[in-house]
Structure 1
Amino acid sequence: MLNISGLYIYPIKSLGGIKVNSAVLTDRGLEHDRRWMLVDENNRFLSQRENIQMALLKASLVSDGIKVTYTPEGTSVVIPFKPITQTPVDVTIWDDKCMAHLVSTELDTWFSSKLGIDSRLVYMPDDSLRQTDLRYTDEGAITSFSDAYPMLIIGQSSLDDLNNRLDEPLPMDRFRPNIVFTGGEPYSEDMMKHIRINGIDLFGVKLCARCVMTTVDQVTGQKGKEPLKTLAKYRLRNNKIYFGQNLVYLGNGKLNVGDELQVIEEHTEERFFI
């Protein structure tokens, strides 16, 4: 039997995640997941890929918003669930452009001072509809400020298998999943084409190609070579390293830790040669 063992949201793109016991599934991912994002002076998204100090900003849920703490100092701010200004601005995520709202000049100043770069905080309102990659999904499937898809799933056994190959084991936070499940064989998520959780139908549309962000220690902000060095030995295909699978879904609902994950259909093609 497969069961959800962990649920995670990442309210601000590329900042620390939050482990939750349950999460509402909205039209573009789990509630609050990557609805906020930091952008540079050109309104392009900021990422740990280029700014590893972002790992030192940790998020938590409080009654009136998202609390962000800068761990080296222990200082924090609270981001309201709704933007203060609601001033529209076009932002860029990879090759996509979409509309967002500026949140607060005071928060912009705070983030800029902690990161040491000019940055502005933006929020994705409900009427900003960002289409997922049409090469892999149907028209109408949308996502928030995630890289490309609204959900990412990884099996705990996959991480266990990887850690058995490493000199020092790594935590799941290196891979930023939304759903972690127990049970099944390592990398069984690769083959999941149609799964059902709590009556919600989810579809595996593309394996997740991993980047240097997985090499950043989410506690210290230090960068190393693992896990990409080891993953490249057995998870490399077409010059990309894969770990986890991206999901889209039909309908809304609620996911809970402990929910059973039913595999309705698997992909027929052999997706990896391990």
Structure 2
Amino acid sequence: MSTHSTDVTARIARLFVYPVKSCAGVEVTESVLTASGLDLDRAWMVVDSQGEFVSQRELPRMALIRPQLKHLDVVLRAPGMLALHLSIDTVEEPVRVRGWDDEVPAFDMGAVAAQWFTDFLGRPLRLVRFDPDHRRLSSLQWTGGIEAPNQFSDGYPLLVASEASLAEVNRRLAARGEPAVGIERFRPNIVLADVEAHDEDRLADMHIDTGGGEAVLRTVKPCARCPIPDVDPATAATGTAVRDTLQTYRADARLDGAVTFGMNAIVLQGDGLTLRVGQVARAGWQFD
């Protein structure tokens, strides 16, 4: 990968952590960066009775489960449910679970959590915590051979998008007579300001001065989009407008024509540093 000498100066506008895979995100003003992404991002996952992960794709009501990060626990709230408190440092028995093509070790979170998810989502489910001793790596093909660990993310430690990219989607939605959507639909970890629409597609390594050292992030793969951006995070209602709109201008040849929005990224440097809203990210441009 090469870069032009031209510099891009972006700013971190928003940060999101998704403690439970496919549930609502938590917007934060700062988050500790780890090799596997933002701290506690996709640390938990909901699985069915066979240990297969479930998501908003088949259970859109998961969008209504809203986590809150506390000092020692994560609190989950959902309409009509009492709050569920998950201790960050407590797990129960080890289990094996599947997410996409990976079978990984995890820890079951116990009967109370299982009943809570079962009651709210209407089918037998359990909650599991990723085993931090396991190294689940991003695709070496896309990372260029760099080992990038993940927890329960779809495949990469971070997802980067931009305010301008969202504005472009909303401009096109409006032209089709459709209402605007929020960035939450696209489930990014880092939202950049001060760049043009879809500039994140071609940024080279992003260097971020955190005040405690330099973090370096590399975008490695466009994010192919499933139906989840068409799930309304406020109501869990589903539609097709977002995907239909993206289909008109975001078919990506790098992924055989799949519709993409945002870029998956890995952490080259900065494990243990803190990312904050307002920090500046400097980068060059990728070119072939």
User: TM class by shorter-chain length?
Assistant: over 0.9
| Count of aligned positions | 266
Gap regions ≥5 residues in structure 1: 270-274
Cross-structure match for 1:181: 192
TM-score normalised according to structure 2 size: 0.90
Structure 1 residue 239 displacement after superposition: 3.3
Separation in 2, partners of 1:94, 1:100: 15
Q: 1:240 aligns with which of 253, 258, 270?
A: 258
Matched, 1:171 2:182: yes
Separation in 2, partners of 1:18, 1:95: 27
Q: Give structure 1 regions of 4+ aligned residues with deviation exceeding 6 angstroms.
A: none
Separation in 2, partners of 1:188, 1:140: 25
Structure 1 residue 82 displacement after superposition: 2.1
Structure 1 residue 249 displacement after superposition: 1.2
Structure 1 residue 63 displacement after superposition: 3.0
Cross-structure match for 2:19: 11
Matched, 1:45 2:60: no
SS in 2 for 1:162: helix
Structure 1 residue 76 displacement after superposition: 1.4
SS in 2 for 1:117: coil
Cross-structure match for 1:151: 158
Structure 1 residue 64 displacement after superposition: 2.7
Cross-structure match for 1:133: 139
Cross-structure match for 2:3: none
Cross-structure match for 2:83: 76
Cross-structure match for 1:255: 275
Separation in 1, partners of 2:50, 2:146: 28
Cross-structure match for 1:272: none
Cross-structure match for 1:223: 238
Aligned partner of 1:254: which letter? Answer: T
Indicate if the aligned counterparts of 2:91 and 2:107 stay in contact, CA closer than 8 A. no
Aligned partner of 1:104: which letter? Answer: G
Aligned partner of 2:241: which letter? Answer: E
Matched, 1:60 2:68: yes
Deviation string, structure 1 residues 34-74 (Cα, Å, up to 9, x no partner): 00001111111110011111111111112331111112x15
Separation in 2, partners of 1:40, 1:194: 38
Deviation string, structure 1 residues 64-96 (Cα, Å, up to 9, x no partner): 31111112x1521111102331x1111111001
Gap regions ≥5 residues in structure 2: 1-8
Q: 1:212 aligns with which of 227, 238, 257?
A: 227
TM-score normalised according to structure 1 size: 0.94
Give the fraction of aligned pairs with identical amino acids, expressed as a percent.
34
Bigger RCO of structures 1 and 2 (CA < 8 A, at least 6 apart): 2
Deviation string, structure 1 residues 91-134 (Cα, Å, up to 9, x no partner): 11100111111111111111111110111111013202111112
Structure 1 residue 139 displacement after superposition: 4.6
Separation in 2, partners of 1:64, 1:112: 24
Separation in 1, partners of 2:96, 2:81: 32
Aligned partner of 2:101: which letter? Answer: D
Separation in 1, partners of 2:267, 2:103: 23
SS in 1 for 2:241: coil
* Pairwise CA RMSD: 1.2
Aligned partner of 2:225: which letter? Answer: R
Aligned partner of 1:39: which letter? Answer: V
Structure 1 residue 155 displacement after superposition: 1.0
SS in 1 for 2:83: strand
Indicate if the aligned counterparts of 2:91 and 2:129 stay in contact, CA closer than 8 A. no
